[in-house]
Amino acid sequence: MGEILVGKIKELKSDVLDMGKLAVTMLKDAVEALKSQNTQLAETVLDRKTEIARMDEAIEEKALRMIALYHPVSRDMRTIAAALKMITYLTRIGRYAKDIAKTAVLLANEPHLSKLVEIPYMADKVVGMIDDALTAFENEELAPLENFAERDDEIDALYYSIFRESITYMMEDAKNITKCIHYIIIARYLERCGDHACKIAEKVHYMVTGEHIEIK
Amino acid sequence: MSNYAIETRNLKIAYGKKEVIKGVNFKIPEKIVFALMGPSGCGKSTLLRSFNRLLDLNKDARVSGEALLFGQNIYGENVDVMSVRREIGMVFQYPNPFPHLTIYENIAIGLRLNKIVQGREELDSRIKWALEKASLLDEVEDRLDDYPSALSGGQKQRLVIARVLAMKPKVLLLDEPTANVDPVGTKNIENLLMELKKEYTIVLVTHEPAQASRISDYVGFLYLGELVESGPTARIFENPKHELTDRYVRGILA
Ligand SMILES: Nc1ncnc2c1ncn2[C@@H]1O[C@H](COP(=O)(O)OP(=O)(O)O)[C@@H](O)[C@H]1O
Ligand SMILES: [Mg+2]
């Protein structure tokens, strides 16, 4: 019975990792679509929204069934508990990607201000955190989670910097207001995605050590 | 007086030259269920029997270290073995009511032999009390003169528990009491133990981690004669500190 559960948990982890990869590519593609004003790419992000929702449901059902049938304990239970939380965070990241993609369609016709300020740079940082959190989950190790608190502070700082820069453009010329409001909202979404990366890291930490921590 | 019902200090037990308990230390608080779990052959029964000085009956068995019952070392000098055993009730894996005695007489015999109660009236009421405590009274009230062969496995085991409780022990030792009982009977016995822990300290030996997780407050994991880890049950099942415990509770210990 124990061995059966070990196999099922492997399967569950690989499902969560697939979902994680999907969320990350959605986010990357949404920002790329915004940057290159590629509405086609933005549309594909919108299409992938249903796929990530389907994965969320399927993984949740699978995890709950494992709890009912195998009464997992110890690391097995912690892995399932972490997976159940992670899929919620990944779904939210997917939702932010969708919102960014929608904005990309709206902003596709006029050139961007100052190369989109620091949004692409900020997006890279956030994606890096999500990737590292997923790697830690895959290998059940803590090393990729070191410095998460500092990295999250950096994301917060980038948000404020984008915020201030956008305000400056708005004061310079009222015609910039619509664009800049969108930039601020997107930066806010990215900042939230960074928070979710931290939440995922906390769950992975619990899975590996059995101890609850708070990164931020 | 100690706050612990049972405490061991470097307790070692050998059969001849073969050491089967290799120096274990733990403390069992009063009025809880303590589960002693581990794969078969790891020494659970041996350890449990040592708390009752039942190993005295085995000429090969040698005990060293200390086992304290409410603070008193039961292996100390001038210890009255009978008074130790009176504080402790023991229930074994195979329900063993006396087959040639009625349900009533099964409980009465110990009380009579030890002259614990006076007269028929007191005996009657003590027997009813014990059956009630063992959650069996409702099921056998109108057939106290039947023989235990008419009872189910679970009922037989509860009859044995009633027999033990009638002697008013402080500690109950149970060695895999549900190993030969069906799921419904197992549930009844587990519910009974949870009820009894309000008044008694219960030490339950089980080879089933799931049973330990269901009903115990504290758990000790015994492996090859060593206490690998012990602590609050919820902690051991959520976050065991030792790799062996982790593998055992997850059911993947080879
Ligand atoms: N009376 C005995 N004489 C010699 N060896 C024994 C005796 N009883 C048990 N053993 C040995 O001691 C070890 C522990 O047995 P036991 O306490 O019955 O374990 P458990 O209850 O965990 O299955 C086993 O290796 C068993 O063979
Ligand atoms: Mg045994």
Q: Rounded CA gap, A194 and B139, in Å?
A: 62
At residue B124, what are phi and psi to the nearest 5 degrees? -55, -50
Protein residue with least CA distance to atom 8, ligand 1: B46
Q: How far is B39 from chain A (nearest CA, A)?
A: 14
Task: Report pLDDT digits (tens) over B11-44.
Answer: 999 999 999 999 999 999 999 999 999 999 999 9
Q: Is B116 helix (H, G, I), strand (E, B) or coil?
A: coil
- Chain B partners within 8 Å of A10 (Cβ): none
Which residues have CB under 8 Å from B232's CB, separation 6+? Answer: B217, B218, B219
Q: What is the pLDDT of residues B191-238, one digit of tens each?
A: 999 999 999 999 999 999 999 999 999 999 999 999 999 999 999 999
The nearest CA of chain A is from the CA of B253 a distance in Å of 9
| Cα Rg, chain B, nearest whole Å | 18
| pLDDT over 90 at B65, yes or no | yes
- The whole-angstrom separation of Cα B229 and Cα B219 is 8
Q: How do beta strands B218-223 and B33-37 pair?
A: parallel
Choose one of B46, B52, B90 to mutate for the ligand 1 pocket test, by most ligand atoms within 8 angstroms of C-beta.
B46
Q: Report ipTM (2 d.p.).
A: 0.77
Q: Is the pLDDT of residue A1 over 70?
A: no
- Centre of ligand 1 from the C-alpha of residue B41, in Å: 6
Percent of chain B beyond pLDDT 90? 91
Contact A32, A41 (CB under 8 A): yes
pLDDT at A165 over 70: yes
CA dist A204 and A89 (Å) reads 13
Kindly tell me if the per-residue pLDDT of A77 is higher than 80: yes
User: Does the beta carbon of A78 lie under 8 angstroms from any beta carbon of chain B?
Assistant: yes
Provide the phi-psi class of B131: left if phi over 0, else alpha when psi is between -120 and 50, else beta.
alpha
Average pLDDT on A152-176 reads 94
Q: Does residue A198 carry a pLDDT above 70?
A: yes
Residues contacting residue B184 through CB under 8 Å, at least 6 positions apart: B154
Q: Give residue A16's pLDDT band: very low, low, confident or very high (50, 70, 90).
A: very high
Q: Do B240 and A74 touch (CB under 8 A)?
A: yes
Mean residue pLDDT across chain A? 95
Per CB-CB distance under 8 Å, the chain B contacts of A5 are 250-251
Q: What is the pTM of this model?
A: 0.86
Report domain extents, chain A.
Answer: 2-209
Cβ of residue B191 lying under 6 Å from some atom of ligand 1: no
Smallest CA–CA distance, residue B248 to chain A, in Å, is 9
Is 90 exceeded by the pLDDT of residue A216? no
How near does any CA of chain B get to the CA of A90, in Å?
Answer: 25
* B66 has a pLDDT exceeding 60: yes
From the CB of B46, is ligand 1 less than 6 Å away?
Answer: yes
pLDDT at A160 over 80: yes
Please state, in angstroms and as integers, the Cα–Cα distance from residue B88 to each residue in A86, A135, A212, following that order: 50, 54, 41
Q: What is the mean pLDDT of chain B?
A: 95
Q: Any idea which ligand is nearest the CA of B43? A: 1
Task: Report the CATH number of the A2-209 domain.
Answer: 1.20.58.220
The answer on pLDDT for B2 being more than 70 is: no
What pLDDT band is residue A204 in, cutting at 50, 70 and 90? very high
Q: B175 CA distance to ligand 2 centroid (A)?
A: 7
Average pLDDT for residues A176-196, to the nearest whole number?
A: 96
Indicate if the pLDDT at residue A55 is higher than 80: yes
**Ligand 1 contact via B39 beta carbon (within 6 Å):** no
CA A176 to ligand 2 centroid distance, Å:
80
pLDDT tier at B151, thresholds 50, 70, 90: very high
Please give the share of chain A, as a percent, with pLDDT higher than 90.
Answer: 93
Cα B160 to ligand 2 centroid, rounded to whole Å? 18
- What are the chain B neighbours of A71 within 8 Å (beta carbons)? 210
- Residue B1 is predicted with a pLDDT of 56
Residue B127: exposure state from Cβ atoms within 10 A (0-12, 13-18, ≥19) = buried
- pLDDT at residue B254, rounded to an integer: 74
Q: State pLDDT tens for residues A131-145.
A: 999 999 999 999 999
Q: Give mean pLDDT, residues B238-242.
A: 96
The average pLDDT across B36-57 equals 95
A chain contacts of residue B240, beta-carbon cutoff 8 Å: 74
Q: Does B254 contact chain A (CB < 8 Å)?
A: no
Which residue, among B174, B165, B236, B156, has the nearest Cα to B199 in the 3D structure?
A: B165
